[in-house]
Amino acid sequence: MRDANPVTEIVGCAADISARAWDALIEASGFYNSHAWVQGLETAHGTSPVLTSTAEGRLIGVLPTWQNTEPSGLFSVAEMTRGLSGPWDQEFLWLGTRRGTANTIICTHDPVMRRRALGALLEKARQLAAAQGLPGAVWPYLTGEAALQIEACHPLAQAVLHSADSLVTIPHGGMKEMESAAESKDRKKWRREQRLFRESYGTVEWATLSPQVSDLIAPLLARTRTKYGASGGTAWIRRTLSGQLASGVARSAVAALTRTGGDVTAAAVFYHHRDWLYGRYWGASPAAPQYAYYVLTCYEAIDAAAVRGCRYLHLSVPASPSKMARGARPMPLAFVYIPAADRKETDDQVLRRHNQRVALELAKAYSPPLGTIWEPWVESSRS
């Protein structure tokens, strides 16, 4: 198969692709790019074309596309580029999972065919963007490592560092082990927040994401989304969760619920995939106990991840000093831009300086050292 040239096609929707063949290409960190997750989104919000790459009749690469009808906040390219010159206020073809903030590569792991397949998928994406009269395609919220790998597969692709993710490495002993290894000031803060939560008569219970639980927590999740500018309200949440139930991806979900006086006043929804636990949705009413957010999304989630044998808890974007202060570490996030025109959008040296500046700004924002995974972005140049 290594001698075969990939054949790239545009497929109408995820349902037209074998779930088994698709998921065989998914990495351990690729839950939000799984077939069931993408099909759940399509069930709830409509279908979008999917790019596929095959070799000798075998699926070796998948790249979903979508139309961004709300280019603001987390999905505003102008905001993500942090002052980098370019056509960033225009419409683009979007790649990866619809409104996904944790995209990964869906591709064969054979290094030769992986490079060919990714290059072919990017070429098809730029052709599709051109056919739609768009300046190019944006593949956002990729891990730094994935973005650099994708960039190397097409001569016109460029990786742009834009933000950071939050990831917790889970010890076998859960929160007790984390507390024992933490600095005294952190340990005292974590324990104080959990104590004040209990003193506010907060309790925690875990439930599967059934239709009944979905209906119960939808208003809470919608309240938080509306607070931060998202549209759609409770109907959007109910439609999204209903799509997950229909696609089967909800079987991976668990919900942490807080009750106050018998009423559910806070909820957090997580998804278990291999050795990862992903935090996705959060919502609370004004009656929620003190520190319910940190108790449900961090402290209780860390214990739940340990019980399930998970190595990682994904806290999602945006990364923040408060998440770092509760055991998370920042991970680089970048988007890959592929122009429809036959020229790079940004001079390579200008882009390198920009990425270095953004990396240093993020390093300043977070108190723990960024770690070696940030080195390609902090260095003044990349080969």
pLDDT tens sequence across 31-65: 999 999 999 999 999 999 999 999 999 999 999 99
The range of the structural domain enclosing residue 38 comes to 7-163+333-378
Name the β-bridge partners of 64: 50
Residue 157 lies in a domain: yes
Work out the end-to-end distance of the chain between its first and last CA atoms, rounded to an integer number of angstroms. 29
What are the tens digits of pLDDT across the range 262-296?
899 999 999 999 999 999 999 999 999 999 999 99
Whose CA is closest to 282, among 239, 320, 226?
A: 226
Tell whether 339 and 280 lie within a shared domain: no
Question: Domain total for the chain?
Answer: 2
d(CA 192, CA 213): 30
User: Do residues 23 and 119 share a domain?
Assistant: yes
Domain boundary among 310, 325, 355: 310
pLDDT at 368: 62
Q: Provide the CATH number for the domain around residue 54.
A: 3.40.630.30
pLDDT of residue 326 exceeding 60, the answer is yes
Q: Are residues 94 and 177 in the same domain?
A: no
Rounded to the nearest angstrom, the gap between the alpha carbon of residue 279 and the centroid of all alpha carbons in its chain is 10
Separation of alpha carbons 15 and 134, rounded Å: 26
Q: Are 267 and 200 within one domain?
A: yes
Considering the domain boundaries, does residue 275 fall inside one?
A: yes
Q: How confident is the model at residue 72 (pLDDT cuts 50, 70, 90)?
A: confident
93 and 126 share one domain: yes
Instruction: In whole angstroms, give the CA distance from residue 157 to residue 10.
Output: 20
> Would you call 351 helix, strand, or coil by DSSP?
helix
Which band of pLDDT confidence, cut at 50, 70 and 90, is reported for residue 377? very high
Q: Is pLDDT of 370 > 90?
A: no
Are 105 and 334 within 8 A, CB to CB? Answer: no
317 occurs within a structural domain: no
Share above pLDDT 70 across residues of the chain, in percent, rounded to a whole number: 97
pTM across the whole model? 0.94
- Say if CB 313 and CB 168 are below 8 A apart: yes
Q: Which of 76, 216, 84 is nearest to 160 (CA)?
A: 84
**Position 325 in a domain:** no
Alpha carbons within 13 angstroms on the beta-carbon side of residue 367 total 9
The secondary structure element, H or E, covering residue 120 is: helix 111-131
- Asked whether residue 1 is domain-assigned, the answer is no
C-alpha 96/C-alpha 244 separation (Å) is 18
Q: Is the peptide bond before 318 cis (omega within 30 degrees of 0)?
A: yes
